[in-house]
Protein backbone atom coordinates (compact mmCIF):
# COMPACT_ATOMS: atom_id res chain seq x y z
CA UNK A 1 0.00 0.00 0.00
CA UNK A 2 1.63 3.22 -1.23
CA UNK A 3 -0.89 6.09 -1.47
CA UNK A 4 -0.32 8.37 -4.44
CA UNK A 5 -0.99 11.59 -2.49
CA UNK A 6 2.11 11.19 -0.28
CA UNK A 7 5.85 11.44 -0.72
CA UNK A 8 8.32 9.13 1.00
CA UNK A 9 11.75 8.69 2.61
CA UNK A 10 14.12 5.78 2.26
CA UNK A 11 13.58 5.16 6.00
CA UNK A 12 9.90 4.44 5.32
CA UNK A 13 8.26 7.65 6.55
CA UNK A 14 5.51 9.30 4.51
CA UNK A 15 4.74 13.01 4.17
CA UNK A 16 1.56 14.58 2.80
CA UNK A 17 1.39 18.25 1.89
CA UNK A 18 -1.61 20.15 3.31
CA UNK A 19 -1.15 23.86 2.49
CA UNK A 20 2.00 25.05 4.25
CA UNK A 21 2.06 22.04 6.50
CA UNK A 22 3.14 18.46 6.09
CA UNK A 23 1.45 15.55 7.86
CA UNK A 24 3.94 12.77 8.57
CA UNK A 25 3.80 9.14 9.60
CA UNK A 26 5.38 5.78 8.91
CA UNK A 27 4.45 3.62 5.96
CA UNK A 28 2.49 0.41 5.96
CA UNK A 29 5.75 -1.39 5.12
CA UNK A 30 7.47 0.10 8.19
CA UNK A 31 4.54 -0.72 10.46
CA UNK A 32 4.53 -4.33 9.28
CA UNK A 33 8.28 -4.63 9.76
CA UNK A 34 8.05 -3.21 13.28
CA UNK A 35 5.23 -5.55 14.29
CA UNK A 36 2.88 -4.69 17.17
CA UNK A 37 3.58 -1.06 18.04
CA UNK A 38 3.23 -0.38 21.77
CA UNK A 39 4.58 3.16 22.19
CA UNK A 40 5.27 6.20 20.03
CA UNK A 41 7.40 9.04 21.39
CA UNK A 42 6.00 12.04 19.47
CA UNK A 43 7.91 15.33 19.56
CA UNK A 44 6.35 18.08 21.66
CA UNK A 45 4.53 20.99 20.02
CA UNK A 46 6.95 23.68 18.89
CA UNK A 47 9.88 21.27 18.56
CA UNK A 48 12.12 22.16 15.60
CA UNK A 49 12.89 19.04 13.61
CA UNK A 50 15.47 18.65 10.88
CA UNK A 51 15.07 16.59 7.72
CA UNK A 52 16.80 13.22 8.05
CA UNK A 53 17.34 13.62 11.81
CA UNK A 54 15.55 11.72 14.58
CA UNK A 55 12.21 13.26 15.46
CA UNK A 56 10.76 10.50 17.58
CA UNK A 57 10.88 6.87 18.61
CA UNK A 58 8.59 3.99 17.78
CA UNK A 59 8.60 0.94 20.01
CA UNK A 60 7.16 -2.40 19.07
CA UNK A 61 7.03 -5.33 21.48
CA UNK A 62 10.42 -6.45 20.26
CA UNK A 63 12.24 -3.36 19.00
CA UNK A 64 12.96 0.33 19.50
CA UNK A 65 13.29 2.31 16.25
CA UNK A 66 14.05 5.94 15.52
CA UNK A 67 11.66 7.87 13.36
CA UNK A 68 13.31 10.46 11.11
CA UNK A 69 11.79 13.78 10.08
CA UNK A 70 11.02 13.74 6.34
CA UNK A 71 11.27 17.56 6.24
CA UNK A 72 12.62 20.37 8.42
CA UNK A 73 10.28 22.62 10.34
CA UNK A 74 8.27 23.11 13.51
CA UNK A 75 5.92 20.55 15.01
CA UNK A 76 2.48 22.16 15.02
CA UNK A 77 0.25 19.15 15.76
CA UNK A 78 0.68 15.75 17.40
CA UNK A 79 -1.58 12.76 17.08
CA UNK A 80 -2.48 12.23 20.70
CA UNK A 81 -4.78 9.34 19.79
CA UNK A 82 -1.78 7.09 19.17
CA UNK A 83 -0.43 7.84 22.64
CA UNK A 84 -3.50 6.09 24.04
CA UNK A 85 -3.72 3.48 21.29
CA UNK A 86 -0.37 2.94 19.53
CA UNK A 87 -1.84 0.01 17.56
CA UNK A 88 -3.52 2.63 15.33
CA UNK A 89 -0.16 2.95 13.58
CA UNK A 90 -0.36 -0.73 12.62
CA UNK A 91 -4.04 -0.60 11.73
CA UNK A 92 -4.14 2.61 9.71
CA UNK A 93 -0.62 3.96 9.14
CA UNK A 94 -1.64 6.53 6.49
CA UNK A 95 -4.84 7.60 8.26
CA UNK A 96 -5.66 7.42 11.99
CA UNK A 97 -2.06 6.38 12.64
CA UNK A 98 -0.50 9.68 11.49
CA UNK A 99 2.17 10.92 13.88
CA UNK A 100 2.71 14.69 13.63
CA UNK A 101 2.22 17.76 11.52
CA UNK A 102 5.20 19.89 10.59
CA UNK A 103 5.16 23.50 9.43
CA UNK A 104 7.42 23.34 6.42
CA UNK A 105 10.60 25.43 6.69
CA UNK A 106 11.84 24.76 3.17
CA UNK A 107 9.33 23.64 0.48
CA UNK A 108 12.17 22.39 -1.73
CA UNK A 109 12.82 19.65 0.83
CA UNK A 110 9.36 18.24 0.28
CA UNK A 111 9.86 18.21 -3.47
CA UNK A 112 13.04 16.20 -3.06
CA UNK A 113 11.32 13.31 -1.25
CA UNK A 114 10.67 10.06 -3.11
CA UNK A 115 7.64 9.85 -5.35
CA UNK A 116 5.21 6.96 -4.73
CA UNK A 117 6.72 5.16 -7.71
CA UNK A 118 10.28 5.63 -6.46
CA UNK A 119 9.24 4.44 -3.01
CA UNK A 120 7.56 1.34 -4.40
CA UNK A 121 10.78 0.46 -6.16
CA UNK A 122 12.73 1.16 -2.96
CA UNK A 123 10.50 -1.24 -0.99
CA UNK A 124 10.80 -3.86 -3.72
CA UNK A 125 14.58 -3.76 -3.41
CA UNK A 126 14.50 -3.76 0.42
CA UNK A 127 14.39 -7.52 0.25
CA UNK A 128 10.65 -8.06 0.65
Partner 1 sequence: MKHTPLSAVHEKMGARMVEFAGFAMPVQYTGIIEEHTAVRTKAGLFDLFHMGEFWLTGPDALKNVQKVVTQDAEALSDRQIAYTPMCRPDGSIVDDLLVYRWNAEKFLLVVNASNMKKDFDWIKSQLSGTYEFEDHSDRTGLIAIQGPNAQEILQKLTRQNLKAIKYYWFTTGKVNGVEMIISRTGYTGEDGFELYFPAEKSEMMWQALLEAGKDHGLVPVGLGARDTLRLEARLMLYGNDISDQTTPIEANLDWTVKFAKGPFNGSEVLKKQKEAGTTKTLVGFEMGKGPAPRHGYAIFSQGKNVGEVTSGTMSPTLQKNIGLGYVPPTLKAIDSTFEVEIRGKMYPAKVIPTPFYTRKKDK
Site of interaction with partner 1 (CB under 8 A): 35-36, 38-39, 41, 57, 59-62, 64, 83
Q: How far is the CB of 55 from partner 1 (least distance, A)?
A: 13
Q: How far is the CB of 75 from partner 1 (least distance, A)?
A: 18
Q: Which runs of consecutive H residues, i.e. helices, occur in the chain? A: 28-34, 81-84, 88-91, 107-112, 116-124
Round to whole Å and give the CA distance between 14 and 28: 10
For partner 1, the closer of residues 57 and 105 by Cβ is: 57
For partner 1, the closer of residues 39 and 121 by Cβ is: 39
**8 Å CB contact between 45 and 78:** yes
Amino acid sequence: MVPSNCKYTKDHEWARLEGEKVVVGVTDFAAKQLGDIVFVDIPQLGTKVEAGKTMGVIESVKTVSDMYAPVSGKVVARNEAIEGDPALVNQDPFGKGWIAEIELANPAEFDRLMTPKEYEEHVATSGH
